[in-house]
Amino acid sequence: MKKIRKIAFSGIVTVLLLMLLTPFAAYTQAEGTSSAAGGTAAEKLKGGPVFIIPVDQEIERGLQSFLERGFEEAAKYGAVLIVLEIDTPGGLVDSAEQIGQMVRDSEIPTAAYVKGDAASAGSYIALNANSIIMKPGSMIGAASLVDMNGKSVEDAKMVSYWKSKMVGAASLNGRDPEIAAGMMDVNLVVNKPELGVNKAQGQIIALTSDEALKAGYADHLADTPEEAITLLGYSTDDIFRVEHTGAEKMSHFLTNPIIMTILLFIGIAGIVIELLVPGFGAPGIIGTLAFALYFFGNYVAGFAGAETWLLFILGLVMLVLELFVPSFGILGLLGSVSLVAGVVRAAFSLEHAFLNLGIAFAAATVVIAIVAVVFKERGIWNRFILRDSLTKEQGFVPVLEKLSLIGASGVSITPLRPAGTALVGNERVDVVTEGSFISSGVPVSVVKVEGGRVVVKESEE
């Protein structure tokens, strides 16, 4: 009995102690919770739409047009951050400049996530962003100028201009300008041991992700763009990825220099064959479709405007009119000039336009010549050549030769000057003299008959 009481007493004491300590425990727990909540609030990520725009192709006006659309959509949806997901070998300097300015002037914060290569002009675009985050194993740099054949540009003015652009972009966010200069100037020596950069003359700086992080050319390393967004302090709950539309993908394919040359070749050959050897229909349709694809691709890519379609249609109409309206070649010449002007205006550079057009025209000339020889009987030139002959089998009867009149005598009815009418036998005949004048009523004799031509002379009797 005593033992039970002792346990009971002990239990009562325990309960009393718990009751006394509970408020302190609750207070301590509440204080801890409050402290944790304060820490979470301090580390809270910024919410709002985040737009990821891929830069995963050669830099040209097509990419520029795509990025402009992406930035417009981001502004429309009230984006709090734009992430450029970069993996490009570079491209055109002028397009890179336009894109860089667009990134630089954006009212929405921008970040470059280098998931592959930010080479050449791609490094310039990345440097214009507010932040650069790189995926482990990626690269940034190697921005020396090269021409269309891949050879280094040695023009001092161009090199100096592009160097100033790279240096200016690097300086925007406090990155070492000498490293940016060393990314494109092979003659520059850069020795920055504290940044892990040592470039000798004749070399170009290309930084790996780890080297870029040490040199201050990358703010963070991240395996995914979502991780990069979090590192920048933004929430990943509302991410939009801007994708290429079907028309943009098709445009990217159609504006390939090889495809453009093929389209021009088919267009020129098809239309000219249809004009020279009419009646088929298919060459004209295929040629017109090829030209339409050429202009469509360049229009979507942002190379061409509505005026290129007008020039093409106007040129085509004048070429067709040349076949039916006698203009001494003026319409044909104007049509050709209009067509060529439309093709050149639609291309992204004059050099490419004339090169593609020259190759296409040479190849089309060979094909047109072969078709003209094979189908020479159907050519339009047959309209200007009289090839049919009038035969008796077709019902055409020639003038009868009056050979029986040779040697016959008669008398002139009218004066023969030298032509006139004579009565030969009992038949009035239109005659002609050998050149002399014979008065009416003078005896004549027939000396020659040539078809319907009866030749007479004055008779001596």
Q: Are 344 and 357 a contacting pair, CB within 8 Å? A: yes
Mean pLDDT of 115-129: 94
Q: Are 103 and 129 a contacting pair, CB within 8 Å? A: yes
Q: What burial class does residue 246 get, using C-beta atoms within 10 Å of its C-beta: 0-12 exposed, 13-18 middle, 19+ buried?
A: exposed
3-state secondary structure of 340: helix
What is the distance between the alpha carbons of residues 406 and 446, in angstroms, rounded to a whole number? 5
Q: Which of 82-96, 157-171, 276-290 has the lowest mean pLDDT?
A: 276-290
pLDDT at 227: 96
Query: Is 3's pLDDT higher than 60?
Result: no
Mean pLDDT of 401-409: 79
Query: Is 382's pLDDT higher than 60?
Result: no
Greater confidence (331 vs 225) lies with 225
Mean pLDDT of 175-193: 92
pLDDT in tens, 202-224: 899 999 999 999 999 999 999 99
pTM, two decimal places: 0.63
pLDDT at 10: 36
pLDDT at 418: 86
Q: Are 339 and 311 a contacting pair, CB within 8 Å? A: yes
Greater confidence (244 vs 326) lies with 244
State the DSSP H helix or E strand holding residue 171, giving kind and residue range, or none if neither.
Answer: helix 156-171
Stated length of the chain: 461
Nearest to 87 by CA among 38, 29, 126: 126
User: Of the ranges 238-247, 340-349, 401-410, which is most confident?
Assistant: 238-247
Q: Are 418 and 432 a contacting pair, CB within 8 Å? A: yes
pLDDT at 25: 38
Q: Tell me how far the alpha carbon of residue 264 is from its chain's centroid.
A: 12
What is the distance between the alpha carbons of residues 51 and 129, in angstroms, rounded to a whole number? 14
pLDDT at 30: 33
Cα-atom radius of gyration of the chain, to the nearest Å?
A: 46
Confidence bin at 12 (pLDDT 50/70/90): very low
Confidence bin at 15 (pLDDT 50/70/90): very low
Mean pLDDT of 276-289: 75
Query: Is 267's pLDDT higher than 50?
Result: yes
Q: What angle do CA 186, 192, 198 make, to 5 degrees?
A: 45
User: Of the ranges 110-114, 261-265, 283-287, 314-318, which is most confident?
Assistant: 110-114
Confidence bin at 328 (pLDDT 50/70/90): low
pLDDT at 337: 81
Query: Is 29's pLDDT higher than 60?
Result: no
Mean pLDDT of 312-341: 75
Confidence bin at 126 (pLDDT 50/70/90): very high
Greater confidence (42 vs 437) lies with 437
Confidence bin at 148 (pLDDT 50/70/90): low
State the DSSP H helix or E strand holding residue 85, giving kind and residue range, or none if neither.
Answer: strand 81-88
Nearest to 276 by CA among 171, 381, 198: 381
Mean pLDDT of 65-78: 93
pLDDT at 110: 96
Confidence bin at 272 (pLDDT 50/70/90): confident
Mean pLDDT of 408-430: 88
Query: Is 173's pLDDT higher than 60?
Result: yes
pLDDT at 123: 95
pLDDT in tens, 446-455: 888 887 788 9
End-to-end CA distance of the chain: 193
pLDDT at 37: 34
Confidence bin at 158 (pLDDT 50/70/90): confident
pLDDT at 451: 73
CA atoms within 13 A on the CB side of 369: 6
